[in-house]
C-alpha cells in the first residue's frame, strides 16, 4: 500500500481553463479497466516537455520530440497504459503516428498538433486499433473537472492515482496549476519523470515555457527514485493554455515568472513525492537530505547513492539501523576527495555519525526507534561547502520483488 497517500477527488483538482480530459477502456492489455486518456486544449495552447535519456527511447517519445520541435502550439495529447510501444521499430512509430491521426480527426487539428504517450510492457506491439476504437469514448467523456478520473486511466502498477492542484495570485490575477502523474517502478528520472502532465491557464511564451519545464523537473521529478532505473518512456510536459487574464510571461527574470515557477513546483513536487510514496511494495517514504557539499552535482550524487542502495533500502524495510550501509553508500558516491572525518549523519533527530565515527551519544535503541515510522528523514552533512539538496525514495520490501517478478503475468 502507498505510504500516507490518498487518491485525489475531482473536486480537489481545479479545472484549467482551456483544457478538457476524457478517458476510456480500450482493453490494451487488460479488459474492464481505464487505460486510455485524451487531453484536448484550446487553440493557442503551448506545451514544453522533457523526456527520458534512456537510449531506447520509446516510439511515442521520439514522436513527441519531433512534434514539439516542429510546432509552437499544440491541441492535445493521448496516453495509453498497458503497452509501452518501445523496442517496436518502424511498426511502433507507425502506431504512434496512427494514434495522432485518429486523435487529430476527433479534436479537429493536424496530427502534428497531438502528442502521444505510452506506458506499460516493453517489446510488445501496440494494439493501435483498440486505441482508434476507444478514442470516441474519450471524446464523449471530455470534461474540465475530471482530472482525478483521468489519472486512473494512466496507471500501470500504481495502487493510487496521483494528482495535485494549486491556485496562485500572479500580477493581481488568479492562475491555476493542476497536474497528474503515474509511476511506481523503473523509476529514477533524468531530466524527466515517468509520465506527468501539468497544466496552467497562465500565458507563457514558448522559450520561457521550455526553461520553466526544465527548472521544475530539476526541483521535483529529478529528485525522486524508487529503484535507480530510468524508464524508456519517461515524459513530463507542461501545458500553458493562456486563458487566464493578464499579460504573457515573456521573461524568466520577471517576478511573474518566479511566482509561476513556485506555483508549478508546488504541484510537481507533491506529484514526484507521490511516485515514491506509491513505489512498488513501499512501506516507508524516505527523504534523504545532503548538505555541506561543494556543488549541486556533488550533493545529488551522495543523496542518490544512499537512496538507490538496495542494502540501505532493505535495512529501512526491516527497521534495522545498520549504520555501516549508510556509510558505504556515502563512500560509494564518487566524491573522490571526501574527507570522511568531516561527515556527520542523522536519522530523524538522532545523530548516528559524528565526524566520520559512530557518535558517542548514539544508542542502538534510539536508532531502532527512528527507523520505525512510515516517514523517515536521513540527513548528511559533508562539511565541505554550502550546496544542499534532497531526494525522495522508498524502501525495498518483499512485495517489490513479487510485483516485478509477476509484472507480465
User: Annotated catalytic sites, by residue?
Assistant: 193
Closest to 79 in 3D by CA, of 186, 196, 230: 196
The three-state secondary structure class of 404 is helix
Cα(323)–Cα(170) distance, integer angstroms: 47
Strands (E), 183-319: 195-200, 235-240, 285-293
- CA 204, distance to chain mean position in Å, is 22
Tell me if 307 sits within 8 A of 224, measured CB to CB.
Answer: no
Rounded to 5 degrees, what angle do the CA atoms 122, 123, 125 make?
105
Beginning with the edge strand found earlier in the chain, give each strand of the sheet holding 46-51 in spatial order. 46-51, 235-240, 195-200, 173-182, 162-170
User: Where does residue 70 fall: left (phi above 0), alpha (psi -120 to 50 degrees), or beta otherwise?
Assistant: alpha
Cα(187)–Cα(222) distance, integer angstroms: 10
Cα(12)–Cα(204) distance, integer angstroms: 25
DSSP string, 236-271: EEEEE---SSS--B--TTSHHHHHHHHHHHHHHHHH
Polymer length in residues for the chain = 409
The three-state secondary structure class of 132 is helix
| Burial of 148 per CB tally in 10 Å (0-12, 13-18, 19+) | buried
Structural Rg of the chain based on CA atoms: 22
Cα(356)–Cα(312) distance, integer angstroms: 18
Cα(49)–Cα(116) distance, integer angstroms: 12
Q: What are phi and psi of 5, to 5 degrees?
A: -135, 120
Residue written as cell 545532503?
290
Tell me if 312 sits within 8 A of 306, measured CB to CB.
Answer: yes
Amino acid at each position: 500500500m502507498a505510504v500516507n497517500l490518498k487518491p485525489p477527488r475531482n473536486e480537489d483538482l481545479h479545472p484549467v481553463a482551456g483544457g478538457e480530459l476524457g478517458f476510456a477502456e480500450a482493453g490494451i492489455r487488460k479488459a474492464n479497466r481505464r487505460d486510455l486518456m485524451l487531453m484536448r486544449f484550446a487553440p493557442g495552447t503551448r506545451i514544453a516537455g522533457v523526456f527520458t535519456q534512456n537510449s531506447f527511447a520509446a516510439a511515442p517519445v521520439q514522436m513527441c520530440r519531433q512534434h514539439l520541435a516542429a510546432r509552437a502550439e499544440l491541441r492535445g495529447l493521448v496516453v495509453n497504459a498497458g503497452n509501452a510501444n518501445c523496442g517496436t521499430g518502424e511498426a511502433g512509430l507507425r502506431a504512434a503516428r496512427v494514434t495522432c491521426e485518429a486523435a487529430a480527426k476527433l479534436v479537429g487539428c493536424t496530427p502534428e498538433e497531438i502528442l502521444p504517450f505510452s506506458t506499460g510492457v516493453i517489446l510488445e506491439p501496440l494494439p493501435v486499433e483498440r486505441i482508434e476504437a476507444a478514442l470516441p469514448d474519450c471524446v464523449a467523456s471530455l470534461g474540465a473537472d475530471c482530472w482525478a478520473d483521468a489519472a486512473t486511466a494512466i496507471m500501470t502498477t500504481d495502487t493510487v492515482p496521483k494528482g495535485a492542484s494549486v491556485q496562485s495570485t500572479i500580477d493581481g490575477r488568479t492562475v491555476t496549476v493542476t497536474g497528474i502523474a503515474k509511476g511506481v517502478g523503473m523509476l529514477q528520472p533524468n531530466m524527466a519523470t515517468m509520465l506527468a502532465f501539468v497544466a496552467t491557464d497562465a500565458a507563457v511564451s514558448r522559450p520561457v515555457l521550455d526553461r520553466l519545464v526544465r527548472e521544475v523537473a530539476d526541483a521535483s521529478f529529478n529528485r525522486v527514485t524508487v529503484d535507480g532505473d530510468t524508464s524508456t518512456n519517461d515524459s513530463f510536459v507542461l501545458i500553458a493554455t493562456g486563458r487566464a487574464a493578464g499579460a504573457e510571461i515573456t521573461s524568466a527574470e520577471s517576478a511573474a515568472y518566479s511566482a509561476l515557477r513556485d506555483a508549478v513546483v508546488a504541484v510537481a513536487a507533491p506529484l514526484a513525492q507521490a511516485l515514491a510514496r506509491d513505489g512498488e511494495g513501499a512501506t516507508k517514504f524516505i527523504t534523504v537530505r545532503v548538505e555541506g557539499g561543494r556543488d549541486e552535482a556533488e550533493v545529488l550524487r551522495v543523496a542518490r547513492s544512499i537512496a538507490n542502495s538496495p542494502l540501505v533500502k532493505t535495512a529501512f524495510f526491516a527497521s534495522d539501523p545498520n549504520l555501516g550501509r549508510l556509510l558505504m553508500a556515502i563512500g560509494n558516491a564518487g566524491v573522490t576527495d571526501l574527507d570522511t572525518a568531516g561527515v556527520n549523519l542523522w536519522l530523524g533527530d538522532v545523530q548516528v555519525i559524528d565526524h566520520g565515527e559512530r557518535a558517542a551519544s548514539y544508542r542502538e535503541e534510539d536508532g531502532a526507534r527512528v527507523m520505525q515510522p512510515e516517514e523517515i528523514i536521513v540527513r548528511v552533512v559533508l562539511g565541505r561547502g554550502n550546496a544542499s539538496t534532497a531526494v525522495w525514495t522508498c524502501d525495498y520490501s518483499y512485495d517489490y520483488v513479487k510485483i516485478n517478478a509477476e509484472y507480465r503475468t
